[in-house]
Chains A and B, each alone.
Chain A
Amino acid sequence: MKFTVKILGPLALALTVMPPLMFMFHSMAGPLMKNLMLAGCILWFATARFFMQGGAK
């Protein structure tokens, strides 16, 4: 579980910043970029509390 969460957290951040980066270089369409960012947002709030320092408090 811990291992999965540790992977999902950075993945959420990657989903937040990589699609816009690809959009900037015209490698991804706008709607897909926005959907992936929303997925990153949901994933981040679902997992961040498990691995960020003090998250369990």
Chain B
Amino acid sequence: MADEYQDGGNEFEREPIPEKALKGPSAFWGMYAGEHTAGTEFMIGPLFVAWGVSAFDLIFGLLLGNLLAVLSWRFITAPIATRHRLTLYYQLEKICGRKLVVLYNLANGILFCFLAGAMVTVSATAVGVPFSGIKMPAFTDLLPTGPAWCLAVLILGAMMTFVAVKGYGFVARVGHLSAPWMLLVFLACGLVMMGKLHSVNLVELLTPAAGTHAQIGFWGVVFFAWFCNAAMHIGMSDLSILRFARKPAYGWASSAGMFLGHYLAWICAALLLVFWVRAHGVDPAKGMAPGPMVYDAVGWAGLVCVIVAGWTTANPTIYRAGLAFQSLYPKMSRATATLIAGSACTLAGLFPAIAMKLLDFVGLYGTTLAPVGAVILVEVYLAKKFGLTRNWAEQTGRSFNLAVLLAWLIPLGCFYAAFLKFNIFPSYLTLPVYLLTGAIYIIAAKLLHRQPPQPQTEPARL
């Protein structure tokens, strides 16, 4: 959607979206359904099985978590997006100043590279199916599995980078067109697995073997489903998308992505591994690469789906990472920045660790980027109440807002310390970090920001 304007030459990056450029609801329903049916969905479903999540926790936890995510888009992101109609970056620049936005972009770009790397990994497992020499990574593999695997990833990564450098309009178009078909392929995988397992009882099929230790329970699933896209909803990254919406109610369109991509697709993908565990005795903890499982279920159409799903989501991610890097050095061409981002993502894709630890990585990604959304939330709803200067950087002409930096880094430092020391599931900490960021921002802004000088007015003559 925003991309259409990029192609058209006017991205409305530093101005509110004009009335004539607003979009109808169908554009948002289609965009969310397509964007959240990615190659990584083939990893996330089986990872729940590998983690020993119970059937009840998975079915109802995902239901509640996805509902909370939709509500976040509808009642947190969409109202702000349609009120100000600005991109996240421009809104942040007004509050934090240009230098701090550059820091945010750097974090964003690096995390985008890792995310795109995971998508390259998933696609490579499909490319490798016809070639018996390529050793597929298991969930326990953190390093490249051999020279043939490296070659497959390098070729795929190079092709994706080349397309991203050329402009990813074509691939975005393919992604848009293939979204309905991809969803049905996910559904087909689930149907075929139920046929092969001779049961349509989802609760029975998704129940792990007796004695399986569940690494996360109901609330783990809820928080994961809620916050796997935390950067986009509560983190306000989707301001850039929803600013084109005519009214906040368009935020409901996110339900297409959540309940098709993050509910139906995850459960169908989970059934793939359930079959291999039950029929072939695969150790769920070691798992299976998605490519061979999908090929076994639905044949060549499945392989095309894995590659298209990975490619169409990796390409925009590489492109966005390139833009983020370009913002660090504005004189650098977009092509060079995209080439750097693509190379970094290809290198990341060589290591299956990111794809195989996707449940953790997605939590880290969301928790790192989402807190800036709390700053925007405070600015929009609480600044007046607490007597804060709204859009402090713009009002004072400063390029660096220390209050925002402290509010972002202090909770984040505590989060990474807790994650590294106690190995806490990252999605549990997204909400506390988010709320703490908002609270610290209010305190820090009160302490550090002096009110900007008011314009001199003549005293009233009595």
Contacts and interface: CB of A to CB of B under 8 A. Distances in A.
A53 B176 CA distance: 10
Interface residues of A, number: 27
Contacts of B26: 53
A34 B194 CA distance: 16
B184 interface: yes
Given A17-B187, A48-B177, A52-B176, A34 B301 contact: yes
B437 to A, nearest CB: 38
Interface in B271-301: 298-301
A52 B29 CA distance: 13
A38 B300 contact: yes
A20 B191 contact: yes
B184 A41 contact: no
Given A16-B184, A34-B299, A38-B299, A23 B195 contact: yes
Given A34-B301, A38-B300, A41-B301, A16 B188 contact: yes
Given A13-B184, A35-B299, A20 B177 contact: no
Interface in A3-57: 12-13, 16-17, 19-21, 23-26, 33-35, 37-38, 40-41, 44-45, 48-49, 52-55, 57
B184 A45 contact: no
B304 A52 contact: no
A8 B180 CA distance: 14
B177 A52 contact: yes
Contact of A20 (B176, B298, B300): B298
Given A23-B191, A26-B195, A45 B178 contact: yes
Interface string B1-25: 0001000000000000000000000
A21 to B, nearest CB: 6
Nearest to B181: A44
B192 interface: yes
Given A24-B192, A52-B176, A54-B176, A16 B181 contact: yes
Contacts of A20: 187-189, 191-192, 195, 298
Contacts of B180: 13, 48
B200 interface: yes
Residue with the highest number of chain B CB atoms closer than 10 Å, among A16, A19, A33, A38: A16
B197 to A, nearest CB: 10
A24 B195 contact: yes
Nearest to B197: A24
19 contacts: A12-B181, A13-B180, A16-B301, A20-B195, A23-B191, A23-B192, A25-B195, A33-B298, A34-B298, A37-B188, A37-B298, A37-B301, A37-B302, A41-B305, A45-B178, A45-B181, A48-B181, A53-B30, A54-B176
